[in-house]
Amino acid sequence: MRTVLLTGFEPFDQDTVNPSWEAVRLLDGTVQGDARIVARQLPCAFAAAPERLCQLLEEFTPQLVIAVGLGPGRTDIGIERVAININDARIPDNLGYQPIDIAVVEQGPAAYFSTLAIKAMVRALRAAGIPASVSHTAGTFVCNQVFYCLQHALAGSGVRSGFIHVPALPQQAVAAGGPSMALSTQVEGLRLAVVTALNSEHDVQESGGQVC
């Protein structure tokens, strides 16, 4: 049986909950076709998240990896296209560290692209009535760092991997304002994303770009 590794983050920036973890943990241990999902939490800290990610890759030797993070202000599930080689934090992480204009990996490539069938995944979610889109920026905080480190670690391995951003939960929107998405919708969206990624060796050819 194949193994799918999903990761979500601990809460950060004074939040008491992080939907990325709340959603992926509900998929932990489930079986999708011939694959079993393993969900684990990552720290929201530049110094700790990459190390924990590499430990999980070594422990589970997964055939598919999707890291998930909270995208505050996002209106849909964003399937990320590209990770860039820069840490430029607007706020300190959970250990109080705030890197500015520092490379994720010294002398590493400027960027890595997702190796998932991102447009097929968006199509599957939309067909199920779940708002989704291709996202062209994963930010410059710990989410982007993890995405970049994931692609860097698996480059040339044949293991497909990528990153997904999910919106805030309704209770977060009540407190801070902005868009939100119910946890049950996020869970189903991530499940469909996993199934589509497992079953799609090649992506579909359709528009997923943005004007600006």
Global confidence as pTM: 0.97
List, in sequence order, the alpha helices (H) in the chain. Answer: 19-25, 49-60, 118-127, 142-154, 170-176, 183-199
Cβ–Cβ under 8 Å, residues 177 and 14 = no
The per-residue pLDDT for 206 is 87
State what percent of residues in the chain have pLDDT above 90. Answer: 92
Q: How many residues does the chain have?
A: 212
Q: Which member of 10, 51, 54, 165 is catalytic?
A: 165
The per-residue pLDDT for 201 is 86
**Under 8 Å CB-to-CB from 152, ≥6 apart: which residues?**
104, 105, 108, 109, 112
Q: Which member of 10, 51, 58, 80 is catalytic?
A: 80
**Domain edges within the chain:** 2-199
The per-residue pLDDT for 175 is 81
Sign, CA dihedral 160-165-169-175, equals positive
Please say if 136 is a catalytic residue: no
* Cα 153 to Cα 53: distance, rounded to the nearest angstrom: 9
What homologous superfamily does CATH list for 2-199?
Answer: Peptidase C15, pyroglutamyl peptidase I-like (3.40.630.20)
Q: Which member of 44, 143, 149, 188 is catalytic?
A: 143
Please say if 80 is a catalytic residue: yes
Cβ–Cβ under 8 Å, residues 22 and 43 = no
**For residues 187-202, average pLDDT:** 96
Please say if 143 is a catalytic residue: yes
Residue range 143-172, pLDDT digits in tens: 999 999 999 999 999 999 999 999 999 999
The per-residue pLDDT for 210 is 82
